[in-house]
Amino acid sequence: MTEKRKEALEIPGAEEWAGYQDDFASRETHSFWFGKSLDDVQPYFSDGRSIQRAHELLGMPRSVYQFYILAFAQYVMSDAAIGDSDAASCFLDNLTAREKEDPGSVAQVFAHLEAAIEFVAASQARFDASHDIYGDFPEKAEELRKLIGATHSPQDPEDQMLDPTDDA
């Protein structure tokens, strides 16, 4: 594993969470997420909790968001997410919302998320996500790519996603 990837896997500490005390919702988010690894939070996306997790992610400081969005990516690619239409839709919507709210926050980690984005976009039926309710996942993915200026060009799988078995 390269040093850059190792750094990306470090659990965010107090410095990355700076300022969370100033907001009630941020304090709640911090008390839930702080100190947890990507693997630690996997179970908290299932059983209809992905909407809450997605909301919490949006309020995180940039570097903290960039770490924990990888956990969401791992979840949507796991077998635990089969049939979890809310999670799949929230994942794509969260990325778009965050990039609009904080330009560059998703673009900076897009290479690590691209495999999950493409997987969700190509697997709408796997998530049992009705087009009438959740919209068209490939269109959502394309909107995100346009927003961050990315082109659809698959990269080396080694560079697309951090190793989900590598615990920080």
Say whether pLDDT at 164 is over 70: no
> 166 in a domain, yes or no?
no
Ramachandran assignment for 155, one of left (phi > 0), alpha (psi -120 to 50 degrees), beta (any other) = beta
Whole-model pTM?
A: 0.83
> 145 in a domain, yes or no?
yes
* Residue type for position 41: V
Q: What is the DSSP letter of 105?
A: T
> 168 in a domain, yes or no?
no
> 165 in a domain, yes or no?
no
Cα 82 to its chain centre, rounded Å, is: 17
**How much of the chain, in percent, has pLDDT values that exceed 90?**
75
CA distance 165 to 38: 9
CA distance 168 to 7: 9
Specify the pLDDT at position 151. 57
> 167 in a domain, yes or no?
no
Contact between 29 and 60 under an 8 Å Cβ cutoff? The reply is yes
> 37 in a domain, yes or no?
yes
> 139 in a domain, yes or no?
yes
Tokens representing 143?
């909107």
Q: Give which of 141, 47, 38, 39 is closest to 89, Cα–Cα.
A: 141
Tokens representing 131?
């087009």
Specify the pLDDT at position 95. 98
Phi, psi of 165 (to 5 degrees): -90, -10
Specify the pLDDT at position 117. 98
- In this prediction, residues 117-137 reach a mean pLDDT of 97
CB atoms within 10 A of CB 107: 15
Say whether pLDDT at 9 is over 60: yes
> 58 in a domain, yes or no?
yes
Q: What is the pLDDT of residues 144-153, one digit of tens each?
A: 999 998 754 4
User: How many structural domains does the chain have?
Assistant: 1
Say whether pLDDT at 157 is over 60: no
Specify the pLDDT at position 104. 95
Torsion, Cα of 129, 120, 167, 94 (10° steps) = -80
Range of the domain at 56: 3-11+20-160
